[in-house]
Structure 1
Amino acid sequence: MRVPDDWFVGFHEGLAARFWQAAGEAMLDADFAVVAALLPPSGSVLDVPCGDGRLSRRLAEAGYDVTGIDIAPGALALAPPGLRLQQGDLRALPDIGPVDAALSWGNSFGYLAPKDTARSLAGLRRVVKPGGTLILESGAVAESMLARGVSGRSEHGFGGITMRSARTYRPQESRLEVESEFEADGVVEHGRAAYYVHTTGEVVRMLHAAGFADVELRGDDGPYEVGAPRMIAVAR
């Protein structure tokens, strides 16, 4: 059965939320180093989707004026106190901003159906000041994902929780579907996720269509190359 397009509503709860919180903390230092190098040295930042606020926290500690938005109450409930976070939807961003920069991190690009992706990018263009920056990260672009293979099974453990996943690619939709099982202390929970897989060229064209004039594609250590683990688009 096909994974619904709105699978992300209700996914990041329970063991799934705790697993990705622990996984995110393990990657936090490396992620923040990349983000900090691409942001302006100060100013206001919208972190969306912010998840449990891991990057929002680091940005606030570095002196940025940060607002975080996420659709998942289970993830927001894990955030540390003192952050300005709120529940919201990328498909219909609240009236916020303008901000100096927006950050879309955590491999969330590709969650949305193409029409909703276009709507979300237009919303991000609306809230970012003219001349401001959007930083968009994804490991689900075709040049990264297809180069390493998409089908098969995997197992990962973080925070005492084991995630076992089975991946299926639907070529007629360019869509990756993932069936996951989360297990901890004898408790087992299941989740289903999906990612629309866009080429890097499609990402650039979508950003241009949303109103961003200049788009640079990067990897962790320089210009993006085919097969890199993730793509980071810097749009202005």
Structure 2
Amino acid sequence: MTWYTSFFTDLANGFWRGAVQPSQTTAEIDFVTGLDVPGSRVLDAPCGSGRHSIELARRGYSVVGLDISAEAVDHARSLAPELDWRLGDLTSMASQSITADLALCMGNSFGYLEHEESVRLLADFAAVAPVLVIDYGCAAESLLPSLPGSIEMSAGGVDMVARNTYDVASGRLLIDFTFTDGERTQQSTCAQHVYTAGELTRMLQAAGFASVELFGDTDGRAFEVGSHRLLAVARR
């Protein structure tokens, strides 16, 4: 079974719901809505607990949120039952009958799939929407210069310990997570493919996107070595 199919439980999701500040969501959606994208239909995939979808809907956009985590989708639906929430894997996107003006793959969710599946995923995004935004925190230029060995944080009533290793042969970041709320403990290993910005750009172009812009943050600064995230804006 692929790791991400069972990873996003209430413990993991509860931690990230507590860890992400509302100001971060606002900045990310300010960046997205500041792009020159005609139309108001948005696909948010994976949507997680719905923070981007709900903020976009608040600003007048028509949103479809797709995620594999039943707990996350149920949480999102409880907050905004009027929105179109769908439970499903990203690999099922082609069968979802979705047409959008803009697709979002936010929250450092790119790279979970095997390489061949990621290539197909980008082609599926290109078929759904003419503009795609990928928020990717595991670009090689961001990750490798200062890869931390371990991280400990508490948020949303959940304690999290993450221990990182990098597998050179496969180009994957391996993270051993432990989540605990004092009564329950979840231990899971996450594996995420690490691509350079150039590799991701070539993958997007091969998927049918004619142009790709690379940003280092929501303030619009250019992506460079040491940028803490990569925001790729691809247009057909």
Pairwise same-fold verdict (TM > 0.5): yes
- Residues 72-116 of structure 1: per-residue CA shift (max 9 Å, x gap): 112112111222110122123133232110001000011111001
Query: Which amino acid in 2 is paired with 1:103?
Result: L
Distance 1:119 1:22 in 2: 32
Structure 1 ranges of 4+ moved more than 6 A: none
Match of 1:163 in 2: 160
Match of 1:14 in 2: 10
Please show how residues 17-56 of structure 1 align to structure 2 within 5 Å: 17-26=13-22, 27-38=24-35, 40=37, 42-56=39-53
Structure 2 segments unaligned to the other structure (5+ residues): none
Return 35-44 or 187-196, whichever deviates more.
Answer: 35-44
TM-score of the two chains, using structure 1 as the length reference: 0.91
Distance 1:39 1:190 in 2: 42
TM-score of the two chains, using structure 2 as the length reference: 0.91
Match of 2:134 in 1: 136
Match of 2:97 in 1: 96
Note the C-alpha offset of 1:187: 2.5
Note the C-alpha offset of 1:134: 0.6
Note the C-alpha offset of 1:39: 5.8
Q: Is the 8 A contact 1:92 1:123 kept in 2?
A: no
Structure 1 segments unaligned to the other structure (5+ residues): none
Query: Which amino acid in 2 is paired with 1:113?
Result: E
Note the C-alpha offset of 1:41: 6.7
Q: CA RMSD in A?
A: 1.6
Match of 2:213 in 1: 216
Distance 2:123 2:92 in 1: 10
Return 94-103 or 172-181, whichever deviates more.
Answer: 94-103
Match of 1:191 in 2: 188
Match of 1:149 in 2: 147
Match of 1:113 in 2: 114
Distance 1:82 1:185 in 2: 35
Greater helix share, 1 or 2? 2
